[in-house]
Amino acid sequence: MISLFKFLSVLPLWLAHGVGWSLGWLVFAVSGVYRRRFLANVRQAGIHWRQWLGAVGESGKLVAELPRLWMGRPVRVLWDGAHHVEAALAVGRGVVFLTPHLGCFEIAAQAYARRYGQEKQPLTVLFRPPRKAWLQALVATARARPGLHTAPTTLAGVKQMIKALKQGQSVALLPDQVPPLGMGLWVPFFGREAYTMTLSVRLVQQTGATVLLTWGERLPLGRGYRVHVHPLIEALPSDGAQAAGVINRAMEEVIRRRPQQYLWGYARYKQPRQES
């Protein structure tokens, strides 16, 4: 499988995205469970079909672009809001980047590592280790690069992120990812109760870090990506549920800006699993 990834990594980005677009529509057509969840989520969010239709193909691009991003040549990346990153780093209390399942979240971390990770402060990204052994080795190798560290979704990983922030470094996580039971609260997301992680709130409250919203937009025709960065407008209250609500509303606002690149097929409203 690793050999296949290496082979696919040489594909030009426009071709990888073309294959991914077809893959996205194929899965949408043949998987009734996925299709029903996708459509239920867009209805819940009140998204018109003209706005979400492109997300069917974009979900396939998310998979097809990974070999190139993990093992291929660097891709073209533009920035929108880089001054927010530089201002936050200058404060020196650490930065918490929050990214929804929107666009290409891999490229946002890579772009930061390339631009800031070595000369200023490294970035630690929270991720759930794959269960398959071969994929664990692939992901560990692919994501390891100068200025970019990873932290597992365990207590040790949380401690690693807190330590990084206290040293003035940056961390990144996906706050719309359903956490294990006991690590979140039921908070509205697009008007429906969703089990929402509280880790992002805890990181900020314990360290005083700056919160920035970011996501990687796929540019058309494989022309690369644009990393968007915006400050969190609402202040985080001390109450955990209210603070998680602020973050969910911020994620909704970011998603509404480009709904055609959101991963609407993600099971956002599922019951949390019991952590083993």
pLDDT, tens only, 30-50: 999 999 999 999 999 999 999
Q: How far is 263 from 17, CA to CA, in rounded Å?
A: 15
In this prediction, residue 8 carries a pLDDT of 84
Number of domains in the chain: 1
> Tell me, what's the pLDDT at 193?
97
Pick from 84, 76, 40: which is nearest to 270 by CA? 40
Among 96-105, 123-132, 158-167, 223-232, name the one with the lowest average pLDDT.
123-132
Report yes or no on 1 lying in a domain.
no
d(CA 181, CA 122): 30
- Give the global pTM: 0.92
Residue 190: inside a domain, yes or no? yes
Compute and round to an integer the Cα radius of gyration of the chain: 18
Is 216 part of any domain? yes
Closest CA to 218 of 77, 12, 111: 77
The rounded distance, in Å, linking the Cα atoms of 71 and 63 is 14
The answer to whether residue 141 scores a pLDDT higher than 90 is no
In order of 146, 200, 234, 264, the CA distances from 197 in angstroms are 28, 7, 18, 18
Please write the tens of the pLDDT for every residue from 84-123. Answer: 999 999 999 999 999 999 999 899 999 999 999 988 999 9
Residue 28, pLDDT score: 97
* Cβ atoms 113, 148 nearer than 8 A: yes
pLDDT digits (tens, 9 = 90+) for 50-63: 999 999 999 999 99
- Pick from 113, 124, 108, 122: nearest CA to 214: 108
Evaluate whether residue 275 is within a structural domain: no
Q: Taking a C-beta distance cutoff of 8 angstroms, is the pair 179, 272 a contact? A: yes
Which one, of 64, 161, 144, lies nearest residue 109 by Cα? 144
d(CA 43, CA 49): 9
Both tokens assigned to 272: 């949390």
pLDDT band at 133 (very low <50, low <70, confident <90, very high): low
Is position 246 within any domain? Answer: yes
Q: What is the residue range of 224's domain?
A: 75-258
User: What is the reported pLDDT for 273?
Assistant: 81
Q: Is residue 93 part of a domain?
A: yes
In a domain, 157, yes or no: yes
Within a domain: residue 68? no
pLDDT level of residue 6 (50, 70, 90 thresholds): confident
